[in-house]
């Protein structure tokens, strides 16, 4: 019954959106809110902006409209919105260009276009996105086109709305025969954009050039009515039902545009530059719509190599849409795809998707010429991790040195296919990182199109991802063995810093128990510093560097934590883990644990489940695996 009530409320809401009126009533609406008469490009930009814009400290913008579906493409989307949508909304010349999204397969191009189409449907149902059309017009024509050309300049001065475009042949005929040249008599209605209803949103897909007709784009003659109306040039004998007709006032998606026969693309030359196209035996037909197409890099290179395509090429704005290059964002992609499946009940162990993402991103990166930067460091820098010795400008340099990163590599579909294989094949309700890596490796063995060299390179990336997971697994277990890891790390840090400060200032420390003055604990400091290879000769410089960092934090009003200095954090962790290693090793690898060891295993397992997101299955598997690692 609750559902029926909601259904009834939905119908009532849809009914509220209906509006019929005269042209004069519509003029009054425009007078009060000139934004109602905005162009298609302006409406699309407003739709994107209305969802919210976040600006980072560095001035980079994140458009929230895309954030729920597209991950790791913030830079591409920012460029797309600012260079195309925003400029086109201000009637700059880029609105006379086809937007061509170019990138590798499964990179998010189709998803981006689908979001625009669905967003327009929702936006047209809001007050801000409301739009109106001449009632009964097959092209949902802007009612302001009824205003004669000679009066439009006066109208713009009075109302502040510029009118572009002319009446379609169908409405021109109705103006004479139905409304007696009295535009006041014309009927206007509110329209709701809908791809399913073919209102303001069109989609054109290429097919066999021999069988596909240009009528799919521009409409066709209705031969059954020629006898009735007597002429092929009578608008009543023409079906204005092509994709260009139906997409008027909104957006048309040209799927795999560069696969189309040339004759279909020629119609876009006039539409993009002049805002009109030719159909049947009529004058040029005005259309206000954004054309968005997508293709891959290989087809685009082939297209621009053909000199015959120069005219169309000059009418394109090409926006590269590369693969995501951030591990954390790649994880979100896989999480989204898994949630959309029927395997949501299967538990994914922590680090399972992250390890798969490590593999994916490694395949999309180029080796750097910069000294001291390997692929793993590059991957971590791109993901926002702090790597000692590197600053933001270094990251930008790395990006500039390899502008085509993300235009190659393993696509998310392959990885999610392998994750799906692991989900289906394992007779359990949980899979871990090793299951995922195993499935990826098996997929490479079965992939007939991969060359021997490519396979070796990809297998190497599987090995790197496995190595990274091994370190994560050991850290996870060792942290779980420490009852309060953060507190232990903080205590060790404070102890180290007290001794470092005393050492650098040539002072003594006060023993907390006896109150005696004692020398700095050199043994403690060296036991930490040696974890990261600080030599005896380099210890003084390292300790002074730490004090300088503390001073900098203090000046900025920030607290120095154990992870405020990347190398010191690593040293603290390694020291804690070194002290624990034997305990963890013995406890996790023993086949017949005694009562004390069993209690410790149960405590650690509970902590992994309660605090780290494991289930009983993957928690026990992690302990066994870590035990084998520590025994090597």
Per-residue model confidence as pLDDT tens digits over 162-182: 999 999 999 999 999 999 999
pLDDT of residue 42: 95
Tell me which of 131 and 490 has the higher pLDDT: 131
Give the distance from CA 393 to its chain's centroid: 24
pLDDT exceeds cutoff 90 at 7: no
pLDDT of residue 394: 77
Tell me the C-alpha distance between 327 and 384, whole Å: 10
Q: Scan for tokens 């002074």, then name that residue.
A: 544
pLDDT of residue 582: 67
pLDDT of residue 191: 95
% pLDDT > 70, the chain: 95
Residue 521: band (very low, low, confident or very high) from pLDDT cuts 50, 70, 90: confident
pTM above 0.85, yes or no: no
pLDDT of residue 566: 80
Across the chain, what does the average pLDDT equal? 87
pLDDT of residue 329: 93
Residue 282: band (very low, low, confident or very high) from pLDDT cuts 50, 70, 90: confident
Q: 352-361, 367-376, 524-533: which range is least confident on average?
A: 367-376
pLDDT in tens, 384-427: 887 767 777 878 888 888 888 899 998 888 888 888 888 777 66
pLDDT of residue 173: 92
pLDDT of residue 125: 93
**Region 619-623: what's the mean pLDDT?**
87
pLDDT exceeds cutoff 70 at 60: yes
Domain chopping of the chain, boundaries: 20-320, 327-481, 485-580
Q: 134-138, 219-223, 348-352, 457-461: which range is least confident on average?
A: 219-223
**Region 533-561: what's the mean pLDDT?**
87
pLDDT in tens, 88-144: 999 988 888 899 999 998 888 999 999 999 999 999 999 999 999 999 999 999 999
Residue 505: band (very low, low, confident or very high) from pLDDT cuts 50, 70, 90: confident
**Region 66-83: what's the mean pLDDT?**
92
pLDDT of residue 253: 93
Helix (H) or strand (E) holding 297: helix 297-305
pLDDT of residue 8: 86
Burial tier of 39 (Cβ tally within 10 Å: 0-12, 13-18, 19+): buried
pLDDT exceeds cutoff 80 at 380: yes
Long-range Cβ contact pairs of 297-300 (< 8 A, separation 24 or more): 297/102, 297/103, 297/104, 297/407, 299/256, 299/258, 299/259, 300/100, 300/102, 300/258
pLDDT of residue 135: 95
Residue 275: band (very low, low, confident or very high) from pLDDT cuts 50, 70, 90: confident
pLDDT of residue 268: 81
pLDDT of residue 590: 66
Helix/strand/coil percentages in the chain, nearest 5: 55, 10, 35
Residue 155: band (very low, low, confident or very high) from pLDDT cuts 50, 70, 90: very high
pLDDT of residue 587: 66
Tell me the C-alpha distance between 231 and 563, whole Å: 81
pLDDT of residue 47: 96
pLDDT of residue 481: 76
pLDDT of residue 321: 93
Helix (H) or strand (E) holding 220: strand 220-221
Residue 602: band (very low, low, confident or very high) from pLDDT cuts 50, 70, 90: confident
pLDDT exceeds cutoff 70 at 314: yes
pLDDT of residue 403: 87
pLDDT in tens, 316-363: 899 999 999 999 999 999 988 888 776 677 788 999 999 999 999 999
Specify whether the CB–CB gap between 356 and 415 falls below 8 A. yes
pLDDT of residue 324: 93
Determine the CATH number of domain 20-320.
3.40.50.300
pLDDT exceeds cutoff 90 at 586: no
Q: In Å, how far are 58, 477, 570, 614 from 482, measured between CA atoms?
A: 38, 9, 16, 17
pLDDT of residue 632: 66
pLDDT of residue 588: 66
pLDDT of residue 302: 87
pLDDT of residue 579: 72
Residue 41: band (very low, low, confident or very high) from pLDDT cuts 50, 70, 90: very high
Candidates 550, 620, 548; CA nearest to 587 is 620
pLDDT of residue 347: 86
pLDDT exceeds cutoff 80 at 251: yes
Q: Let me know the angle formed at the C-alpha of 484 by 381 and 519, rounded to the nearest 5 degrees.
A: 85
Tell me the C-alpha distance between 439 and 419, whole Å: 7
Cβ-count burial 431-452 (b if 16+ within 10 Å, e if not): bbbbbbbbbbbebbeeeeeeee
List all residues 6 or more positions away from 452 whose beta carbon is below 8 Å from its beta carbon. Answer: none
């Amino acid at each position: 019954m609750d559902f029926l009530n909601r259904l009834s409320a939905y119908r009532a809401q849809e009914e509220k959106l209906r509006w019929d009126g005269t042209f004069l009533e519509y003029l009054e609406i425009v007078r009060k809110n000139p934004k109602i008469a905005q162009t298609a490009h302006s409406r699309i930009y407003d739709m994107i902006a209305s969802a919210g814009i976040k600006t980072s400290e560095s001035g980079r913008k994140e458009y929230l409209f895309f954030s729920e579906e597209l991950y790791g493409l913030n830079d591409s989307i920012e460029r797309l919105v600012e260079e195309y949508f925003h400029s086109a909304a201000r009637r700059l010349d880029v609105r006379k260009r086809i937007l061509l999204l170019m990138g590798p397969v499964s990179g998010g191009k189709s998803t981006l276009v689908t979001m625009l189409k669905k967003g327009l449907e929702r936006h047209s149902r809001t007050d801000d996105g409301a739009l109106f059309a001449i009632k009964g017009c097959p092209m949902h024509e802007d009612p302001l086109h009824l205003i004669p050309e000679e009066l439009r300049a006066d109208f713009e001065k009075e109302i502040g709305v510029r009118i572009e475009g002319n009446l379609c042949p169908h409405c021109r005929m109705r103006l004479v025969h139905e409304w007696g040249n009295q535009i006041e008599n014309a009927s206007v209605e509110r329209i709701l954009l809908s791809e399913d209803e073919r209102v303001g949103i069109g989609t054109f897909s290429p097919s066999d050039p021999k069988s596909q007709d240009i009528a799919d784009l521009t409409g066709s003659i209705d031969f059954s009515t020629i006898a009735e109306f007597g002429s092929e040039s009578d608008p009543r004998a023409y079906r204005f039902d092509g994709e260009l007709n139906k997409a008027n006032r909104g957006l048309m998606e040209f799927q795999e545009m560069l696969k189309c026969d040339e004759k279909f693309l020629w119609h876009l030359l006039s539409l993009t530059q002049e805002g009109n196209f030719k159909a049947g035996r009529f004058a040029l037909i005005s259309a206000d719509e954004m054309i968005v197409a997508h293709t891959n890099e290989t087809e685009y290179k082939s297209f621009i190599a053909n000199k015959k395509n120069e005219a169309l090429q000059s009418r394109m704005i090409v926006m590269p849409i590369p693969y995501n290059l951030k591990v954390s964002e790649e994880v979100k992609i896989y999480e989204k795809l898994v949630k959309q499946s029927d395997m949501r009940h299967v538990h994914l162990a922590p680090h399972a998707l992250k390890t798969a993402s490590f593999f994916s991103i490694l395949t999309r990166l180029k080796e750097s010429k910069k000294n001291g930067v390997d692929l793993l460091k590059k991957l971590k820098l791109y993901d926002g991790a702090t790597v000692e010795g590197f600053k933001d400008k270094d990251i930008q340099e790395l990006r500039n040195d390899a502008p085509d990163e993300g235009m190659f590599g393993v696509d998310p579909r392959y990885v999610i296919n392998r994750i799906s294989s692991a989900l289906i094949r394992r007779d359990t309700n949980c899979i871990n990182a090793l299951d995922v890596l195993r499935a990826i490796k098996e997929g490479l063995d079965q992939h007939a199109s991969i060359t021997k060299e490519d396979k070796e390179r990809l297998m190497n990336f599987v090995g790197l991802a496995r190595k990274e997971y091994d370190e994560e697994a050991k850290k996870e277990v060792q942290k779980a063995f420490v009852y309060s890891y953060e507190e232990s790390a903080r205590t060790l840090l404070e102890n180290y810093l007290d001794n470092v400060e005393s050492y650098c200032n040539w002072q003594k420390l006060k023993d907390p128990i006896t109150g005696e003055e004692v020398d700095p604990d050199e043994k403690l400091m060296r036991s930490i510093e040696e974890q990261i290879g600080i030599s005896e000769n380099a210890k003084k410089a390292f300790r002074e560097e730490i004090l300088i960092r503390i001073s900098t934090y203090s000046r900025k009003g920030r607290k120095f934590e154990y992870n405020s200095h990347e190398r010191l954090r690593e040293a603290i962790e390694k020291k804690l883990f070194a002290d624990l290693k034997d305990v963890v090793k013995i406890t996790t690898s023993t086949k017949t644990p005694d009562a004390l060891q069993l209690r410790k295993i149960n405590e650690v397992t509970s902590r992994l489940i309660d605090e780290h997101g494991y289930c009983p299955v993957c928690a026990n598997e992690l302990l066994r695996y870590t035990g084998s690692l520590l025994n090597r």
